[in-house]
Structure 1
Amino acid sequence: MEDTAIPYELPEVENHSFFFIDQRVEPSLEAKLHRHDAWELYYVVHGRGNRMAGDTLQPFAAGDVALIPPSMLHRWEYVADSADEDGCVRYLMVAFSHSLVERCMEVFPELRNRLFGVSFPTDALKFGPESSRTIRKVLSEMNGMDELGRLSAMFRLLPVIYTTSDRTFAGKPMRIERDVRRMQQICAYVMKHYVHSIALDDIAAEVGMNRSAFCSYFKRCKGMTFSQFVTQYRLNTACDLLKHSQKSVSEICYLVGFNDLPHFVRVFTSIIGMSPSRYRKQLNTGNS
């Protein structure tokens, strides 16, 4: 699987026990799929889009609050047209290590009494209306606080996020090695069979999944449908043949798995931005 486990270190804040940010950023600049060794409590102030957390893709909107556990792959992908008049989306976030929770429970009996016996979640969670309202209020208040005030606010947040029943499932951790092997298997199958039509049922069976589960899985991992992936692979192969062979456009059309020349030319032009003939001519002009 490509570009999934991007290392992402939270900023080191000297003499602070956790990280707080009020972020306004252009949607395209938001972090790619990544993970870090910290709990992430995230409040969407402005914007909407899709959140990937572990194995799950869910839509999100302004007002949503979610908790991502340590080491879980995740990404908040904002829709461009949900930005404000300055072209930005906004979120509030706190990130903190699990050791902070453990140390606080050791030192402060009041917190230990509240969290005693709690099973810390391994799944990502989305908070419901009541708990979201409480968390939004505390995170918003943190903006105007000094460091001691923010620490005090954290003591109010921890019992809420770990003990409330007002929350729903938002994603399970992915076993990366399994997903890498499965995606390698899919890619190898496409490389072997792209010249012919590839039925969804066949590729799904190849990796031991049903058709529906395969489609959801592939879209989550690759960010495109399987059909789009196969088309892109065929076009990449066509570009390589146009560049390095003397075969005609018609021959290349059938060699890369298209069975209709006009359709091949339309798809190529739409995605590559020019016709196959012009693409080859431009290459020859550049090499002359």
Structure 2
Amino acid sequence: MAHPAELPTVRLTSNRFWGGDFHFSIFTVRHTPESHPFQYCRNFWKIIYVLSGCGAEVIDGVGYALRPDTLFVIHPDDVTRFELAGDSEIEICNILFLPELIAFGAPFLADYPDFMRIFDPARKPEVGREQRERLYIQKADQSIAALVRAMLREFNQAQANYRSVIRLQLLELLCRIARQSDRKIRRSRGRAVAEQAADFLREHHSEPFEPAALAARFGVSRQYLHRVFSRTYGMSLGDALRDCRLTAAYRQLLEHPERTVSEVCYGCGFNDLSYFYRLFRARYGCAPGRLRG
């Protein structure tokens, strides 16, 4: 296979996939390492949903893992290609459409403006890393998986009024993608806040601790900070701070024999010597003074 930089870029046009005024198509395709010696861009939107197999979708030079139930919304100007290892195969359901197909539903999508504004062609230069993450769902939930399969059946059977049904299904699909994407972004932001809080505790463990001030430092509420920290680390902020202080005390007792136990205790942020003794013994199985032999 040619080096990615040497692959020709082919621009796919919508008239290859549909004719007339119904700007939509859905079909399954199986890819192998030799299937496509090109990279592609297009003049329509594309949603890929992985039915089976594993690989990667490379979008504008950045690779994203693909596995069953992975879903990706691809911008028309994105330059894409598949990467598959060895003799592996991957089966994809492709959903192709133009935004005009769902223009009637714009008022119903107001709850997710950050997601839906990507369908404005003038905003392509603004599709950054976070926006790209909104378009990538590593494992779609069951409601999305069921809806994709229902759309495939509806399109293939082409019963009366199937176009109207497809338009409604596509609108629902985008709503469900936006909903799951929004949950993912919130979790990602929460994890980032929790990690910053953990770094702060490690660096400032010896200082007085005020949860409200720490929350204000990151621009979130105290309740939100407690919730995301507990979800990320499985412990409270207070427990994490005690761990940081105990770890620092253990290290100082070994590295600074000239310091008394009291100096280490108060220097690491504890304000009660007997409390420090109890915590230290529970954590390390001996009194602080015994650590030095």
TM-score, normalized by length of structure 2?
0.45
TM-score by length of 1: 0.46
Relative contact order (C-alpha < 8 Å, sep 6+): which is higher? 1
Q: Based on CA coordinates, which of the two structures has the bigger radius of gyration?
A: 2
